[in-house]
Amino acid sequence: MGNIGLSGLYQIAQTHVVEVVFTRRDKNRLPRTRRMLLTLDRKLLNSSEGLKLLHFKKPSLPRAYESRPKNLEFFWDIIMQDWRAVPGESVNIVRTPMLPLKTYPDSTKFWQYYNLVLSKMTPAEKASFMDR
């Protein structure tokens, strides 16, 4: 895995679903690392499936603080189905032996993955996904 930084991740997330791992800033939260399946792909999120199955919702209020000076960026968390902040200093795209980067640039491939894997995940499996 390699650190991509927020600007790189932000660019990729505009058109991809991306699996990332990062270290939480709060040292008292366990586990210390968090895995996340995220996107900013408006076409995917605003599709009928995105609205219905991913429960996408546009932010209704302005953010309480500016995220960039804090080296944070907000992304749609597909597993938690809500907006989440990701810290820039430790974010890494998950690499797998089969894919150079674990991303889903094609919404058809993502929905296949969603139907085969994500839609069948139990709450315990979702927690396990996020915590490893």
Q: What is the pLDDT of residues 74-110, one digit of tens each?
A: 999 999 999 999 998 888 888 654 444 455 666 778 8
In a domain, 110, yes or no: yes
Are the C-beta atoms of residues 102 and 94 closer than 8 Å to each other?
A: yes
Query: pTM of the prediction?
Result: 0.84
Domain carrying residue 107:
2-126
In a domain, 131, yes or no: no
pLDDT of 99 reads 42
Residues of the chain falling short of pLDDT 70: 1-3, 95-106
DSSP state of 33: E
pLDDT of 95 reads 60
In a domain, 50, yes or no: yes
- Number of domains observed in the structure of the chain: 1
pLDDT of 1 reads 45
pLDDT of 3 reads 65
In a domain, 132, yes or no: no
In a domain, 108, yes or no: yes
Are the C-beta atoms of residues 122 and 58 closer than 8 Å to each other?
A: no
pLDDT of 93 reads 83
